[in-house]
Amino acid sequence: MVAEIQPLYDIGNMLYNIGTTSLALTKAKKRWRLAYFTIYFSKAIAKNVISKALPVSKFPPYSVIEIIPHIDDDDDDSKVGVDIKEVPDHHFYGIIDQTQLVNIVQNKDLETLRGLDGVKGLAKALHTHLENGIDGHDVNERATVFGSNTYEKPPPKGLFYFVAEAFKDVTILILMGCAVLSLGFGIKEDGIKDGWYEGGSILIAVFLVIVVSAVSNFRQEKQFDSLSKISNNIKIDVVREGRRQKVSIFDIVVGDIVVLNVGDQIPADGLFIDGHSLLVDESSMTGESDQIDVNAVSNPFLISGAKVADGHCRMLVLSVGMNTTWGKMMSSITGDNNEQTPLQSRLNKLTSSIGKVGLAVAILVLVVMLIRYFTGSTKDENGKQEYNGKHTSVSEILDSVTGIFSAAVTIVVVAIPEGLPLAVTLTLAYSMKRMMADQAMVRKLSACETMGSATVICTDKTGTLTMNQMTVTKFWLGLEYMGEHSSKAIALQVLELLHEGVGFNTTGTVFKDTTRMVSEYSGSPTEKAILSWAVEDLDMDMEKMKQGSTVLHVETFNSKKKRSGVSIRRKDDNTIHVHWKGAAEMVLAMCSKYYNSNGCKMVIDNDSRKQLENIIEGMAAGSLRCIAFAYKKVQEGTDYQTLTEEGLTLLGIVGLKDPCRPGSKKAIENCRSAGVEIKMITGDNVFTAKAIATECGILEPGQEVCEDEVVEGVQFRNFTDEERMQKVDRIRVMARSSPFDKLLMVKCLKQKGHVVAVTGDGTNDAPALKEADIGLSMGIQGTEVAKQSSDIVILDDDIASVSTVLMWGRCVYTNIQKFIQFQLTVNVAALVINFIAAVTSGAVPLTAVQLLWVNLIMDTLGALALATEGPTKELLNKPPVGRVEPLITNIMWRNLLAQAIFQITVLLTFQFKGKAIFNVDERVKDTIIFNTFVLCQVFNEFNSRKLEKRNIFKGIHKNRLFIGIIGITLILQVVMVEFLKKFADTERLNGVQWGICIGIAALSWPIGWVVKLIPVPNKPFLSYIRC
């Protein structure tokens, strides 16, 4: 019995440094220590589930174990009394809590970890089974107690942010200043009832332009944000309830067992449980480029955000979300999407050039109108001279000058094609959204447009051209072909060796579902196929086999050596076996003997080697991936860190069938018709590569393959630089290639002037993906490193999706050209009409409000209508767009100049002769000019749908948005003319006048049809001017 309560001990120090206290670390005390941790964590979980008042990471509730040493008079042994009592929240007593879990990894505190009995001690405290993982029912409770694996993001930009951004436009501010002055003068002259119309109209029009622009930008921001969330939602392997399964990194919780392989991003902070040859790249966190060796002894710490460079392992998660350095760092990064694509940069230059022309015209108009005003050449609405020297009040002068200045500024507003950047943003955002539905996720905006210029696509075989659904269809044991369920026909010792070679030398796992009596396989498609074959055909029991041997060393798969190896020690006889698995011809080259089905070892002589090589070539020619298994029994004392590669005994060769994707041949034909060459780069042997390439249409069936069309990676890299540059265009298939060979080919093609797209899925593909003009990573089989190095992620790993991306790339470029043609037509016509009218008559037919309305039609509604045209098959019948081809082609110049000349001719005729032609007054004439001008743009919008084709209505029924925008524009125009007379400075038109306006505007269609019959030279139009 405890006689006396001693002062409370520092539990943490006592447990970590218990050897320095007077208490001997007996078995009883070890049990007390374990009991303490178990009770603490159980109490923490239970308390937080019931009372969710405070986040654990800040104020963890806990219990304290009061340890009181007591010396019994009758016994020299110390005894420990333990009392568990509740301690109020928000107090810290050196006991292990979430803060300590965080600090163990972040500080890489090996001493504290050892004091807690290492990974095993923490796993017990966290109620995690190191083999089976956590109970799936505990996930929500753990997320409540320890937090979720998410980070706090800065608040998204609201609508008012974009409104404020729109107000920063200098021309908008000048216009608003003019509107305020006009409003003031108008109210002073005519009173508030009638004096607000002109200034108020401009203010309302400016406000509409700002709101429409802000709403459009706000919607695009939200869309980019949602795409970013999808991009960040990485799937990772975890073990729960004994089953390996893929979950989102956001669903990882403390205590989870995570399986990491090459290319994976570490999803949380944790500890190494077991694994082999693990190298981690922490450069994203530390800035150090050196890869870190992680192991169970000297460095078991795994930091979130780092990437697995080599090897594989299982890790125990200790802290997640905002309790990790990665979480804190990511929460401080804003999601601004300020990326400027090459097309946007070119358009900004074009906008700047057009703006300068518009500014020059506006200044000229301003000067001319001021001169005409002050020389008394202008008259008011009543026909009286506006300026009469001293008889004109200062207020009247300021009012008139403000009106003139407002008209000049409005010309600048119309002249500057601000809709061009908006059109790019709209078409890119629209394309990104639609491409997601077509199984392509865009990570970099520039890739959308660059893909339209691609001239070569270097593609993988597995999963891209094929379905990545591997099955073992053939099995050779030595020179004997074995049929299905061949386990009974094979000698027991050979069968055991095959089980070892498959079961230990794998990154896959087998889970037996006892309820359904079926096995579930996880890992890569190749690993799953081999495991399935071994379990179902060779009766392999993976659990039983692993209990009978211990793994000594693992050499992970190497893309250069094309094989992986493992050394194991059998527990029954203490013998050591080295097993290799990999590319059949490479493993065969390491073998000097082979087993037959009777269990006899046979020497591989020249004849038998030739027979085995023929077997491999025969399977490869049948589109099978050939993998061989070999082993060697080694002596005790051999260096386990280096696996022997000589004198092996061949155990067997399997052929895996991966059928071609049904749409691969058609996709390759589409790419070829679009002028894009397809090159297949694969790690498989040359016979398999030829067979698949022929099946997919990369090589012509029935024709003899030229020597330069199919090469092996080693040949390509051994060519001289001159030879490579000569032959690279003719190469269609490169077999047995390494990631370095792929990178080398990309560099050669770029040097030849090609725009290169590359597909890749492995970590080692990252250099080629970055080097290429467009990097396309695989969404299913691609590693996280490959995805982050790419520009576009192909979500279904299908070559057909690659051809769809190509089509979308061309669609983006074409849509931008359509809008440029449409907007420049309006710019040219508006500038010329207002300039000539201002210089000759001293007045502009199109007022500030009317021009702002035209600006709204062009910039927003026009961009929305033309930028959202979907791709058509016709786009793949054209050659790729060159890198330096002008944005405005000769065809576009022909179309826009024809329409602009037509509009200028008609509207200037109305300006000078309209009153006589229509027998109307000045206001009605100006309304007819305004109405005709707007309707010309509406009809010309149809012309702009097709740059070359004369049938401008083809496919229009599929674009409901276009039809809707045309309808909205027409309705608003009727409202402007008929109902907003004072606001828009218009007069009502009768039916005949409306008919004349529509009839003249409709002439845009036949003019556009005739103009497209006129041929244009290939040499860019502007090059003649430069000469």
**Is 549:472 a contact under the CB 8 Å cutoff?**
no
Please state, in angstroms and rounded to a whole number, the distance separating the CA atoms of residues 416 and 505.
66
The reply to whether 460 belongs to the active site is: yes
Please state, in angstroms and rounded to a whole number, the distance separating the CA atoms of residues 254 and 417.
54
Closest C-alpha among 608, 618, 620, 656 to residue 479:
608
The identity of residue 601, as a single letter, is K
What is the C-alpha R_g of the chain?
38
Please state, in angstroms and rounded to a whole number, the distance separating the CA atoms of residues 629 and 202.
81
State the DSSP string of 907-926: HHHHHHHHHHHHT--HHHHH
In angstroms, the first-to-last Cα distance of the chain is 108
State the DSSP string of 15-45: HHTGGGSSS---HHHHHHHHHHHHHHHHHHH
The identity of residue 22, as a single letter, is S
Q: What tokens were used for 1027?
A: 């000469």
**Is 817:832 a contact under the CB 8 Å cutoff?**
no
**Is 946:940 a contact under the CB 8 Å cutoff?**
no
Please give the torsion angle defined by the CA atoms of residues 427, 428, 432 and 437, in that order, rounded to the nearest 10 degrees: 20
Q: What tokens were used for 446?
A: 């520039």
The identity of residue 959, as a single letter, is N
Please state, in angstroms and rounded to a whole number, the distance separating the CA atoms of residues 893 and 900.
10
764: left (phi over 0), alpha (psi -120 to 50) or beta: alpha
- Phi, psi (deg, nearest 5) at residue 780: -90, -55
Please state, in angstroms and rounded to a whole number, the distance separating the CA atoms of residues 40 and 62.
6
Q: Give me the catalytic one of 237, 460, 798, 926.
A: 460
Please state, in angstroms and rounded to a whole number, the distance separating the CA atoms of residues 419 and 857.
10
Q: What tokens were used for 986?
A: 């218009």
Chain-centre distance for alpha carbon 9: 54
Q: What residue has token string 């017990």?
A: 124
Map residue 83 onto helix, strand or coil. strand
**Is 634:567 a contact under the CB 8 Å cutoff?**
yes
Neighbours of 914 (CB within 10 A): 21
Show which residues are catalytic: 460
